[in-house]
């Protein structure tokens, strides 16, 4: 029992680090602070929804179940990137320059529904591929079902957030008027804070990359 608890704790810690690193990588590489924060917000919310679903549907938080969340994180980030990047692409068009209010809302709606079918197909394919696992019985079912459940919960949560919550965040974020100088200042402050966080959690060589 002690070994199992230690293993679960190690996996939970690794999962937390994976989420943290993913968020920092998103913010550094997307090169748009507001878009990066919108995409990064998907991960903690989706993981929280996954744990809530696990609790109410009786899925134990064992090593295999937590591994399902860890495996799904890459796809969850992709969902956020696809939705938000398509919104940015529309906003960068000349005809949509300085869009605010209802026009901005219309642009975000159009950008979201434009990629929603493709994202739905991609996630549905992944979820359907796990259907045989849900019908496993005996020892195999007890071993692999938690992974299938948690990965399905995570993907469903990321899609729901991507199509409902991220457009709302995008509207509020891109509707704000922020001076470029202040945005650059905020970006530099974030990089410093990110370096400090990485220095605390990991070794001191990794923050040097920032």
Q: How far apart are CA 189 and CA 34, in angstroms?
A: 14
**pLDDT value, residue 78:** 87
Instruction: Establish if 197 belongs to a structural domain.
Output: no
Model pTM? 0.74
**pLDDT value, residue 113:** 92
Instruction: Establish if 191 belongs to a structural domain.
Output: no
**pLDDT value, residue 137:** 79
Q: Do 114 and 32 meet the contact criterion of CB atoms below 8 Å apart? A: no
Q: How far apart are CA 8 and CA 166, in angstroms?
A: 31
The number of distinct structural domains making up the chain is 1
Phi, psi (rounded to 5 degrees) for 138: 60, -145
**pLDDT value, residue 207:** 47
Instruction: Establish if 199 belongs to a structural domain.
Output: no
User: Domain span at residue 106?
Assistant: 2-177
Instruction: Establish if 201 belongs to a structural domain.
Output: no
Instruction: Establish if 126 belongs to a structural domain.
Output: yes
**pLDDT value, residue 5:** 62
Instruction: Establish if 55 belongs to a structural domain.
Output: yes
**pLDDT value, residue 2:** 58
Q: Which residue has the tokens 């959690």?
A: 201
Instruction: Establish if 204 belongs to a structural domain.
Output: no
Instruction: Establish if 205 belongs to a structural domain.
Output: no
Q: How far apart are CA 9 and CA 61, in angstroms?
A: 11
CATH code of the domain containing 59: 1.20.1640.10
Element (H, E) at 164: none
pLDDT (tens digit, 0 to 9) for every residue of the chain, 210 residues total? 555 565 556 666 666 666 677 667 766 666 677 788 888 888 888 888 988 898 888 888 777 888 888 888 888 888 888 898 888 888 888 787 777 878 888 888 999 999 999 999 989 988 888 888 888 877 777 778 888 888 899 999 999 999 999 888 888 888 776 555 565 666 666 666 666 666 665 554 444 454
């Amino acid at each position: 029992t002690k070994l199992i608890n230690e293993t679960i704790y190690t996996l939970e810690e690794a999962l937390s680090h994976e989420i943290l690193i993913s968020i920092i990588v998103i913010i550094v590489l997307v090169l748009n602070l507001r878009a990066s924060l919108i995409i990064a917000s998907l991960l903690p919310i989706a993981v929280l929804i996954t744990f809530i679903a696990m609790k109410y549907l009786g899925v134990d938080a064992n090593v295999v179940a937590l591994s399902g969340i860890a495996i799904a994180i890459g796809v969850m980030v992709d969902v956020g990137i696809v939705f938000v990047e398509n919104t940015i692409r529309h906003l960068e068009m000349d005809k949509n320059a300085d869009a605010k209010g209802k026009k901005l809302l219309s642009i975000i709606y159009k950008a979201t529904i434009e990629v929603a079918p493709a994202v739905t197909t991609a996630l549905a394919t992944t979820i359907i591929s796990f259907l045989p696992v849900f019908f496993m019985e005996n020892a195999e079912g007890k071993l692999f079902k938690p992974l299938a459940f948690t990965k399905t919960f995570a993907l469903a949560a990321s899609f729901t957030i991507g199509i409902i919550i991220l457009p709302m965040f995008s509207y509020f974020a891109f509707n704000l008027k922020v001076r470029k100088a202040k945005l650059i200042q905020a970006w530099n402050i974030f990089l410093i804070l990110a370096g400090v966080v990485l220095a605390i959690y990991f070794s001191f060589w990794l923050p040097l990359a920032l």
